[in-house]
Amino acid sequence: MNKQRIGIVGIGKISGIYLDNLTGMFSKRVTLISVTDVIAERAEKAAVDYHVRHIKTPEDLINDPEVDIILNITQPQNHHAVAMAAVKAGKHVYNEKPLCVTREEAAELLKAAAEKKVRVGGAPDTFLGAGIQTCRKLIDDGWIGRPVAASAFMMNHGHEHWHPDPAFYYKTGGGPMFDMGPYYLTALVNLLGPITRVSGSAKQGFTRRTITSEPLNGTVIDVDVPTHIAGVLDFAGGAVGTIITSFDVWASSMPFIEIYGSEGTLQVPDPNTFGGPVRVRRFREEAWSEIPLLKNFPDNSRGFGITDMAEAIVESRPHRASGELAYHVLDVMHGIHDASASGAYYQVKSTCARPEPLG
């Protein structure tokens, strides 16, 4: 098969797992050829460690005729500019989440890509892992009957205790919904289909946060975004969902995601992982049953989404972690914030198909 060649823009905290997997578990399916970062020494080191080329500027990497797909793992605030440059250069692009900061940026990106006939993909790709693919099969095979409702909880106290440079999580484009909501909403859309209407309330629990990780320990971040967001989701298929994403909670024992069906309940594993456990409890059963996972990709398989996109390009089929899916999720996340600001429901304008299950 004609393997697509990938160049990475942005060699920060998350890049390690992409570098490992694109040169490891996915190396028979794609070829990583080059890396770049505005902080040159980061890309220089990755180039040495992974035996790929260090390209000095993002512009040169993006315009390199040998690169087919740009993997854009810069901070959210840079997603649009880097992705637009890629599309203008005639390259396919796969962005880390969220797709862009605003709907307008994301819509412009998808329009430009359609005009240039190149693909846009977007993280997360965790829904392609064994855990959520097993859940998808259970729902599609009717194990819990007709989905009636869902709940999702992502609650912690933010990233300033571990991330080396966490300020972006508290600036426009950050916050718990835009940072972690993509995992939960992408999983829900994969399991239940698109969302048509949302409402919600968004609050800011703390106006300033102090970094306790190195090397910026003691630095204070001014918080510009809401950090506790509660949303209600109406799915086109008829189910009603609730979601809470928060960076204001010290401890919680709520589940990650549960789907409530007419004949039972499905417990979905952490959608920020590729594995399990997956549990089901059907009506009249007195205990949960742990369901064996489908064999595919239970371990940290970041890079699966861009690999699927690379193969889809060669095979002329739709890719699963698509720009349309990432745009729909972005639209829903903004809709919850908009509903909080306006006091009215937001009718979701975008939609998308459920990605094909992996089989």
**Residues within the interface to ligand NAD (CB under 6 A):** 9-15, 36-39, 42, 58, 73-76, 78, 82, 96-97, 165, 179
Angle (CA) 248 249 251, round 5°: 160
The answer for residues whose C-beta is within 8 angstroms of residue 206's C-beta and 6 or more apart is 223, 227, 248
Can you read off the two tokens belonging to residue 233? Answer: 């989701």
Question: Counting Cβ atoms within 10 Å, is residue 319 exposed (0-12), middle (13-18) or buried (19+)?
Answer: buried
Going by DSSP bridges, is the β-strand pair 278-282/289-291 parallel, antiparallel, or unpaired? Answer: antiparallel
Our CB check for ligand NAD shows the closer of 76 and 147 to be 76
Our CB check for ligand NAD shows the closer of 10 and 264 to be 10
Our CB check for ligand NAD shows the closer of 124 and 261 to be 124
d(CA 327, CA 98): 9
Q: Which of 326, 327, 309, 324 is nearest to 93 (CA)?
A: 309
Q: How far is the CB of 123 from ligand NAD (least distance, A)?
A: 6
d(CA 113, CA 116): 5
Q: How far is the CB of 101 from ligand NAD (least distance, A)?
A: 10
Going by DSSP bridges, is the β-strand pair 228-235/220-222 parallel, antiparallel, or unpaired? Answer: unpaired
Our CB check for ligand NAD shows the closer of 265 and 322 to be 322
**Cβ atoms of 198 and 335 closer than 8 Å:** yes
Q: How far is the CB of 58 from ligand NAD (least distance, A)?
A: 4
Q: How far is the CB of 178 from ligand NAD (least distance, A)?
A: 8
Our CB check for ligand NAD shows the closer of 16 and 145 to be 16
Q: How far is the CB of 63 from ligand NAD (least distance, A)?
A: 13
Q: How far is the CB of 38 from ligand NAD (least distance, A)?
A: 4
| DSSP per-residue letters across 65-94 | TT--EEEE-S-HHHHHHHHHHHHHTT-EEE
**Cβ atoms of 281 and 113 closer than 8 Å:** no
Q: How far is the CB of 165 from ligand NAD (least distance, A)?
A: 5
Question: Counting Cβ atoms within 10 Å, is residue 299 exposed (0-12), middle (13-18) or buried (19+)?
Answer: exposed
Q: How far is the CB of 15 from ligand NAD (least distance, A)?
A: 6
Residue 323 amino acid letter: G
- HSE-CB for 108 with a 13 A CA cutoff: 14
Our CB check for ligand NAD shows the closer of 128 and 280 to be 128
Can you read off the two tokens belonging to residue 137? Answer: 């099969």
How far lies 203's CA from each of 210, 260, 315, in Å?
19, 28, 45
Our CB check for ligand NAD shows the closer of 154 and 291 to be 154
Residue 55 CB neighbours (<10 A): 23
Our CB check for ligand NAD shows the closer of 9 and 89 to be 9
Q: What is the DSSP letter of 168?
A: G
Q: How far is the CB of 343 from ligand NAD (least distance, A)?
A: 29
Our CB check for ligand NAD shows the closer of 58 and 200 to be 58
Q: Closest-CB residue for ligand NAD?
A: 12
